[in-house]
Structure 1
């Protein structure tokens, strides 16, 4: 039994070995045949290229002959151009023809050389004399006609074409013989391996069908999931836009009215109450802005503004806003500004202030005692380092990456002591990237934290005046401003701010009324909301621009004042013809500064997003 098994195994190995040898022999034969076929194909390709080149050269010679004959009779420059074009083609094609004929028999190379000699002889004895005589108005008598040279050229090309076609036919016969030999070899070898091939093919086909069915089902599920994801993205975008509008519209009324109220005569107690209202509204506005920015990716998509501002004053302003909060917790807030950084720069001051605000708020929140240090240092020309250090709870390296994720905090347990949504550092990292830097941090548990980032801010040579406590007048001669907003509270806020600076205003509640007002009156600036009934602000802006072009009037600056501050809204305002974009809630300084900016420009520019 054991011997039988060994014999069967040996026979199996012998059969497999014979099959392997047969397949290898078949492969060698097929490989050699393929090499032969490829060589024949390459020779055929070269021959066909040579035949095409013969045709190109014959056409070039015939154009030269026809051009000379025509120019000699009619003196028409078109014939001369025909000759010159044929001459250029001939001169360009001759090196290629010589190269192709280099592997041909000697008599064919001699034909090519004879063509070159005959063409040069015809050019020297016929073409140039006849062209020269025709240009000078003479007529040559007894001059050579060049017929013998042309006949020789045509005969040479005919010989070349004949022999090249004959060589093609011979190679075709060799190719067919090699082809049939390879087919017979393949048939014999295929008969030996047919049984194995059928078995393997059947198994492979079954597995392939199963895989295709699984892939089709997976593709169908993926397409359905993608459709659902796109629908969810559209729904999210619409939801964010609506929520931004619905939440910021009443908040704009609170902030705007509180700011207007702050500029009236108040007692100390009333001002303290008003400060609480303003601080709470600011906190709510920041939370809404952070949530919407992170949810929609607005912090990454908005174009970075390039406005001039005083760098040291900006840092001091942000620190001053947090000083009271730090003192209430018994913390010391230290500020150090490098004297070399007391310059005016250009950049996105709104994003920089928002970034510093996130870092300072985070430091105060997680520090129970000690100090908060804010530093600004000039590293080199135009490059600055901002640093916020605290003596708070700190964190270890394992939490470092998690802290920059959305809704993450150093202590995320149910008993954590510090509130908040966990958006600050995630948004801070996005803002730092928007400004061209990278937010970095160093910390140890119980040893405090240090957050820093380096950014480039080009220096300008003009000192920027800071805004006074009271809003500055817009101009000596008060301009007429059109206020367009469907919400009565929002209109009232803008009207009160404009009243404080002595501006004249006209107020309407939808885009159609704005279009009608612009057709009847002249305005210096238009403050335009986006979401309104009857006609939205973008459509109204486009219609106003169309009327201005039709009437030949200069474009009136349009400032979008909307609760929608996503990147697509800013881009849509720019495309419609607006110059700036203010996001609600709007404060008086931002509004007056925006109006002054567009009034100072000689002509309207593209829309720019500005944090209000």
Structure 2
């Protein structure tokens, strides 16, 4: 746009100057701009000083051509031509003081070139065209304008420099925060892996209903904590305004019941009731993000529990007229004032009856609901507060709509196949063993890469579960050395067992390129373990 406007200035100059003069100046100016911009791409002034000096020269040429036309217009007898010349010089000085000031040497080069040509134009008029005309006033004006522009350039450059330093500091702090969150997430997954893995193992072995119910609540709580850890990894995306939604086949009614079962003991402990009303028309399977649905319901039930002192809470779910899943959470608390109906959805905003909390639950739940094709609204009722959560349910093909039950130990058996578990943390090895023995697998353990390599070389197992974040020889180096062993040891199947969720999201092609045959993410889930074993090993009929 600036080049187009500059060419327009040269066209206007043909009104007072011979046509060929603005044409030649325009060609030289445009060529200098083009060459300068090309040379500035990926330019490192410290390593390419000659190329950098050429860019300064191109700026001097372009500014010289532009100001030369203004100087020629200044020689014209028409007062309009002199006004045009003054305006052109003013415009280029403003451009130098604003855009060019980001890089001060470029701005100074253009400023000095403009100043020299402007002074030359005034002196030429004074001593050649009009020797009797006073020249002091124009020179004083030029000097004043030059000083003002120079001061402005330095001020703007200082502002840009400070903004750059602040941005770099903020980026460094953001990188440090991301590393901290990733490390914390990795460390928290170790105890969570033990709780969730051993909880699933005990749940599979439990036969009494009371014991199974308690274990199911423990496992559900551990899964919720795993969702929070996943949210930590998604933090950067959320801060950028991108809410990660991962639709998958699930049973909406079962997800609602699981959240209600998790909160029912808390309501009963507070002397409150929790009523669940699910319509019969809810689909048994549909495509939606079950984790995000549970997160929204958790926020709503937690909010209702904090604000209800007597009575109870009812959760109703049905399909609305638009085909959306509609869930209403109504409590018998004090309710929400009409003037606060929208304010409570703002971050860090709480109503007049606020209790302990951050004030983020409703705002996060509304953002998630809208990202899932629905919304979260407050429905006015005569008594208490009622929140209506809606989200889109994607229909599934018949082949996918079948129940996606995880592989279970009694359905899959691998006839005593050998699995080597390589992890420096004994708890993780114990959890992996607890999952694997349910499938009839024989487990061996190694606490480091060196031990694993020795066992693989001596007697290759059928499958290796390899932790990727071990001290000393890490998983990547261990894998490289496994693939360097002589046959058949180098062809054994190796599956990463890691807390790095980014590795787990890589495509199968990307895993194969790295020498891996698959990936298990900590905390280990029984459905994920069973699915992977079915892919990597051949179960007995």
Common fold: TM-score over 0.5: yes
Distance 1:498 1:424 in 2: 38
Unaligned runs of 5+ in 2: 1-11, 28-70, 83-123
Is the 2:407–2:531 contact (alpha carbons within 8 Å) kept by the matching residues of 1?
no
The question of whether the paired residues in 1 share the 8 Å contact of 2:300 and 2:329 is answered with no
Distance 1:321 1:495, change over 3 A: same
Q: Which residue of 2 aligns with 1:205?
A: 146
Q: Deviations over 1:457-493 (max 9, x none)?
A: 2412035346489755434545443433221111101
**Higher helix proportion (structure 1 or 2):** 1
CA deviation profile, 1:168-210 (whole Å, cap 9, x unmatched): xxxxxxxxxxx99996758659855844432322222222121
Comparing 233-242 with 592-601, greater Cα deviation is found at 592-601
Which residue of 2 is the match for residue 227 of structure 1? 168
SS in 2 for 1:459: coil
Please state how far the C-alpha of 1:344 moved relative to its aligned partner. 3.0
Aligned partner of residue 531 in structure 1, secondary structure: coil
Paired positions, count: 428
CA distance in 1, matches of 2:416, 2:405: 19
Of 277, 290, 294, which residue of structure 2 is paired with 1:335? Answer: 277
- Aligned partner of 1:437 in structure 2 is 373
Q: Which residue does 1:236 correspond to in 2?
A: 177
From 25, 34, 53, the counterpart of 2:17: 34
The residue number in structure 2 matching 1:371 is 313
What are the superposed Cα offsets for residues 18-66 of structure 1, whole Å, 9 maximum, x if unpaired?
A: xxxxxxxxxxx9753437448998xx9xxxxxxxxxxxxxxxxxxxxxx
1:391-422 per-position Cα deviation (integer Å, ceiling 9, x unaligned): 2454457656665566x363599xx54x4555
Cα shift at 1:240: 0.8
Query: Cα deviation per residue 1:282-323 (whole Å; 9 max; x = unaligned)?
Result: 665565555564477499779755643344444444444444
CA distance in 2, matches of 1:299, 1:245: 23
- 1:552 and 1:490 map into 2 onto residues whose CA distance is 24
The whole-number CA distance in structure 2 between the counterparts of 1:402 and 1:548 is 64
| 3-state secondary structure, aligned to 1:34 | coil
Partner residue in 2 for 1:585:
523
Match of 2:423 in 1: 485
Deviation, 1:448, is 0.8
Determine if contact 2:196/2:523 at 8 Å carries over to the other structure: yes
How big is the shift at 1:495?
0.6
**Aligned-pair CA distance for 1:519:** 6.0
Secondary structure at the residue paired with 2:15?
helix
Q: Which moved more, 1:239-248 or 1:187-196?
A: 187-196
1:556 aligned residue (493, 496, 505): 493
Query: Judging changes above 3 Å, is the alpha-carbon distance between structure 1 residues 241 and 398 closer, same or farther for their aligned structure 2 residues?
Result: farther
Which of 396, 417, 421 lines up with 1:459 in the alignment?
Answer: 396
CA separation of 1:361/1:262 partners in 2, compared to 1, >3 Å: closer, same or farther? same
Q: CA deviation at 1:547?
A: 5.4
Aligned residues: CA RMSD: 4.9
* Deviates further, 225-234 or 291-300: 291-300
Query: For residues 512 and 243 of structure 1, what CA distance do their matches in structure 2 show?
Result: 27
Give 1 or 2 for the bigger CA radius of gyration. Answer: 1
Contact 1:396 1:443 in 2 (8 A): no
In structure 1, what is the Cα distance between the partners aligned to 2:195 and 2:362?
Answer: 27
Contact 2:424–2:448 (8 Å) recurs in 1: yes
Matched, 1:534 2:475: no
Residues 569, 442 of structure 1: CA spacing in aligned structure 2 closer, same or farther, 3 A cutoff? Answer: same
Q: Distance in 2 between matches of 1:245 and 1:39?
A: 67
Partner of 1:390: 330
Distance 1:421 1:347 in 2: 27
Q: Which whole-Å CA distance do the structure 1 matches of 2:445 and 2:359 have between them?
A: 41
Question: Could you tell me how far apart the structure 2 residues matched to 1:208 and 1:37 are?
Answer: 32
Change (3 A) 1:560 1:438: farther
Instruction: Determine helix, strand or coil for the equivalent of 1:32.
Output: coil
In 1, the alpha carbon distance for the partners of 2:486 and 2:298 equals 44
Measure, in 2, the Cα distance between the counterparts of 1:262 and 1:475.
19
What do residues 214-265 of structure 1 show as CA deviations (whole Å, max 9, x unaligned)? Answer: 1222122222212211221121111111111222312322333344344556
The 1:279–1:559 alpha-carbon spacing in structure 2 relative to 1, beyond 3 Å, is same
2: CA distance, partners of 1:515 / 1:239: 32
* Pair 30,351 (structure 1): closer, same or farther in 2 beyond 3 Å: closer
Residues 323, 207 of structure 1: alpha-carbon distance in 2 compared, 3 angstrom cutoff = same
In structure 2, the CA distance between the partners of 1:519 and 1:286, relative to structure 1 (3 Å rule), is same
TM-score (structure 2 length as normaliser): 0.62
| Match for residue 507 of structure 1 among 442, 445, 449 | 445
8 Å contact from structure 1 (residues 344, 461) kept in 2? no
Aligned to 2:32: none
CA contact (8 A) 1:538 1:572 kept: no
Structure 2 counterpart SS, 1:441: strand
1:523 to partner: Cα distance? 5.6
Counterpart position of 1:56: none
